[in-house]
Structure 1
Amino acid sequence: MSETIAIRRLGMSEAMACVDALADVLIDCVEGGASVSFMLPIARQTALAFWRHVAEGIARDERILLIAENGAGQIVGTVQLIISQPENQPHRADVAKMLVSRSARRQGIATRLMAAVDEQAQRAGKSVLVLDTVTGGEAEGLYERSGWVRVGTVPNYALMPDGTLCGTTFFHKQLSPA
């Protein structure tokens, strides 16, 4: 890794204070082609509103937000763990919005964020994790290397930021109880 990266969990107040920096990461990733629920052109107000909503979810104990910061304290990556699940799935969580700024990729940041997800999930009493990603994208390899199991794909599941259809691959991971 070319520089020091710190992974940490944000509370609601800190998340609200970081909305601008988180919006920068989201916009960078969407402009780079990441299919993470947003279309081009992504308005800054849209990105800011999304992160405010995430912070509100943290306040309601629905989400865990992890960030990766470089040595200068700049947020260069993030991932969420959605811990609020239906009554019959108290042991499950969804992983969402794995984002690493294009300038910070290939430094092991995503791998470290995924390891932190496992740790946070276990602390929250979660033993089954689920996520989805663009079929054929680089993230599939990341998840497989991180111990995730491919479940299957759904063709034409979502749109890429430019409007073209893309398939989605679903993964799961079974964790040992904490």
Structure 2
Amino acid sequence: MTCTRLAPAEFPAYVDELGALLADVVQGGSSLGFLHGLTLDEAAAWWRDSVGPSVERGSTAVWVALDTDETGRSRCLGTISLAFTEKPNGRHRAEVVKLMVHGGTRGTGLGRALLASAERAAAEAGVTLLVLDTETGSPAENFYRKAGWDEVGIIPDYAADPAGVLRPTTLFCKRLEPLVPVRLEPLVPVGDCQE
């Protein structure tokens, strides 16, 4: 399995696979901003129309974890994104968004590998602070704690879960040692992560 950052020109080719992954994870109960009933077309459209333009600008970086089946067909089993702040006073920070692992691969270490890839790339881009939020009480909350993230606080009734019930969210942050000076240019690929 490889973990690869998608170049802007490559991103459109993965929209359908990313949409299928998003639909699978939402159907599995993960709170990612969507409700049950999300169709494959709606999920792919979200990636294409909401994420695509920011990937093209370089303000969002998207990684995919790819596996090849017995027929040689590649499929997307996980993803993670970094959203960079475009404001001049925030170039030192980025937000981890949409860390997703296909239901059939949970517990294999793929989520840790994706998170480590994004953290390393952020540090290489000069980012010194990462932030994220996740549903309070979800398995993801413990996942981030084990990965060295610090809980900052909880916001009540922040977002509806896939069933439409309002849930609190827990805010996390992680300080990074920059590997290069802070800059605004988009990230460069950092190679593959192996699982």
Normalising by the residue count of structure 2, what TM-score does the alignment of the two structures yield? 0.86
Corresponding residue to 2:32 among 26, 31, 36: 36
Counterpart for residue 26 of structure 1: 22
AA in 2 matched with 1:106: G
Corresponding residue to 1:50 among 46, 51, 58: 46
Corresponding residue to 1:67 among 64, 80, 88: 64
Instruction: List alignment gaps of at least 5 residues for structure 1.
Output: none
Per-residue deviation, 1:13: 2.0
- Name the % identity: 37
Are the aligned partners of 2:20 and 2:44 in contact in 1 as well (CA < 8 Å)?
Answer: no
Aligned length: 174
Are the aligned partners of 2:6 and 2:64 in contact in 1 as well (CA < 8 Å)?
Answer: yes
AA in 1 matched with 2:57: R
**Distance in 2 separating the partners of 1:142 and 1:14:** 30
Taking only aligned residues, the RMSD between alpha carbons, in angstroms, comes to: 1.1
AA in 2 matched with 1:148: W
AA in 1 matched with 2:56: A
Per-residue deviation, 1:55: 2.5
Q: Residue 90 of structure 2 aligns to a residue in which SS?
A: coil
Are the aligned partners of 1:154 and 1:169 in contact in 2 as well (CA < 8 Å)?
Answer: yes
Per-residue deviation, 1:137: 0.6
Counterpart for residue 92 of structure 1: 93
Instruction: List alignment gaps of at least 5 residues for structure 2.
Output: 180-195
**Distance in 1 separating the partners of 2:76 and 2:52:** 16
Per-residue deviation, 1:123: 1.9
Does residue 12 in structure 1 map to residue 11 in structure 2? no
Q: Residue 21 of structure 1 aligns to a residue in which SS?
A: helix
Q: Residue 10 of structure 2 aligns to a residue in which SS?
A: helix
Give per-residue Cα distances to partners, 1:45-75, cap 9 Å, x unaligned: 2211111132221110110101111243211
**Distance in 1 separating the partners of 2:46 and 2:120:** 25
Normalising by the residue count of structure 1, what TM-score does the alignment of the two structures yield? 0.94
Are the aligned partners of 1:63 and 1:84 in contact in 2 as well (CA < 8 Å)?
Answer: no
Are the aligned partners of 1:13 and 1:55 in contact in 2 as well (CA < 8 Å)?
Answer: no
Counterpart for residue 103 of structure 1: 104
**Distance in 2 separating the partners of 1:68 and 1:44:** 19
**Distance in 2 separating the partners of 1:26 and 1:127:** 29
Q: Residue 95 of structure 1 aligns to a residue in which SS?
A: strand
